[in-house]
Amino acid sequence: MTDSQREDTVWQTAVERIIRKHEWPLDDTAENELIAWLKNDPAHRAAYEEASHVWLLLVWFRTLKKNSHLLLFSRLPKIAVRAN
Amino acid sequence: MFLNQQAVDLSIVFVAHQAQLRRTALRILRNPERAEDVVQDAYLKVTEAADVLNIKQPLAYLLQMVRNLAIDCHRRAAFEVGLFEREEEGLHVPALMGAPEATAISRQHLTLIAHALSELPERTRRVFELHRLDGHTHCAIASKLDISTSLVNILIHDAIDHCRAALRSN
């Protein structure tokens, strides 16, 4: 596998994990497995963070479109992955 | 018309008294970030409430709403502590799940996302919105749009990939 193929696989895995977590809350086994995957390689973490960021932006885009007053707040919400 | 007028008034009162509402939440939660989240939740409730009542004392109403939300948040936080400690312990590195700063949202990114979404093919966007924003499962989307669940998954991936590319190109 080339570097870019490997990077793509990691990215797709990160996205898949986020989609799954969104669809169904993780049980303990799945949660531990996710943590193990994240610890396994800094690239996994980086991909997961990036995917989480995209994921969260997508919801805030709609919320802000409906509630432009939110822009008056001192900061936009800091939402962690737990928001999923 | 009358009801709309009330709703507008309430959000104006809200913005005008933001600081006081935030202090109210802060007194209960003792955590500025959670307090801010609670204030924002309250604001969303105010703007989204379909049936705005004829509120004679809007500030008192808002303060009570913030208090209730803060108390809920406080209870939830106590419950979540266990989960977070476990995650952080497992990761040993700052700035991921337990550290929301890692995903601070910028207005510029929101603009890029808005544009990226508008570029998606109609079906892809529809599938993605049903999943991400409306919380439908793959199965529900598949039967609604008469496509396979694996195609639903592919289209969701496509949408996220496209948004990522848009953010990266910046």
Which domains, from first to last, does chain B contain? 2-102 (1.10.1740), 105-168 (1.10.10.10)
Tokens 């898949």 belong to residue? A16
Shortest distance between the Cα of B153 and any Cα of chain A, in A, equals 9
Cβ(B25)–Cβ(B62) below 8 Å:
no
Cβ atoms < 10 Å from Cβ of B152 = 24
Q: Tell me the residue range of the domain where A9 lies.
A: 3-83
Q: How many domains does chain A have?
A: 1
CB-nearest partner of A80 from B39, B97, B153 = B97
Give the model's pLDDT for residue B105: 56
Dist. CA A61–CA A55, nearest whole Å: 10
The tens digit of pLDDT for each residue in B18-49 reads 888 888 898 888 888 888 888 888 877 777 66
Closest residue in B to A63 (Cα–Cα): B44
Q: What ipTM goes with this model? A: 0.74
Chain A from 8 to 67: CB within 8 A of any B CB: 11-12, 15-16, 19, 22-23, 32, 35, 38-39, 45, 48-67
**Is B84 within 8 Å of A82 when comparing Cβ atoms?**
yes
CB-nearest partner of A23 from B11, B83, B137 = B137
The tens digit of pLDDT for each residue in B2-12 reads 444 444 467 77
Could you tell me the CA-to-CA distances from B96 to A50, A66, B67, B149 in Å, in that order? 10, 28, 30, 30
Residues 6+ apart with CB under 8 A from A26: A20, A34
Residues 6+ apart with CB under 8 A from B110: A57, A60, A61, A64
